[in-house]
Amino acid sequence: MSSLPLADLFDLFLRFLMLSLLSIGGAMSTAPEMHRFLVAERGWLDDADFTTAIALAQAAPGPNVLFVPVLGFQVAGVVGAAAALVGILLPSTLLSLGVSRWGAQRRDTPAVRAFTAGLAPVSVGLVFATGWLLSLPFIAAPDHRLGALALIAATMAVTLKTRLAPIWMIVVGATVGGLGWV
């Protein structure tokens, strides 16, 4: 964590502002471009820093976009974290607010109804794909495969059959994982 010159900090902020409008499907889709900028072009971070930022954001609670402020933090401390987070969110947030208000006024027109109807199956397919990709490491690793698959299945059953808050399932997962059962 070095203290970055103000000009470089502003440069990082501008880069992330531009990436924000390209982050269709989430900030993670711009991770390769951030890697190119921070690691290859500027040399502010190395590969291990970059991977750690993504792993931490996925392990910690909250949206995965938080890997972006972690990258900023690694580059320039708390100020870097703030610059990266505001940069990656401001343009996309303003655009989304505008588009969702525009769409809400035209909710009953055939074009907007067709838009949500046509996208819904794609969204459902994407959520299944995410579930599959998240399960894949547990299916691929032979260690504790049965325990992990049982935990995934139990979580699904509890979610579908009860109204239990997810935090309790997470606590159970962390406990059995910490004991080395999954």
Rg, C-alpha atoms of the chain: 20
Q: Which pairs count as long-range contacts for 154-161, CB under 8 Å and 24+ apart, including other chains? A: none
Taking CB under 8 A as the binding criterion, the range among 9-17, 33-41, 112-120 that sits at the site for other proteins is: 112-120
Q: Which of 3, 60, 106, 146 binds other proteins (CB under 8 A)?
A: 60
Which structure tokens are listed for 24?
């269709």
Q: Does 18 bind other proteins (CB under 8 A)?
A: no
Nearer to other proteins, 7 or 157 (CB): 157
The closest alpha carbon to 182, from 139, 128, 133, belongs to: 139
Taking CB under 8 A as the binding criterion, the range among 2-10, 36-44, 91-99 that sits at the site for other proteins is: 91-99
Contact present, 134 and 120 (Cβ < 8 Å): no
Q: Does 69 bind other proteins (CB under 8 A)?
A: yes
For residue 6, the minimal CB distance to other proteins (Å) is: 21
Q: With CB under 8 A, what is the number of residues at the site for other proteins?
A: 95
Q: Does 7 bind other proteins (CB under 8 A)?
A: no
Which structure tokens are listed for 32?
């390769």
Q: Does 48 bind other proteins (CB under 8 A)?
A: no
Interatomic CA distance for residues 21 and 84, integer angstroms: 14
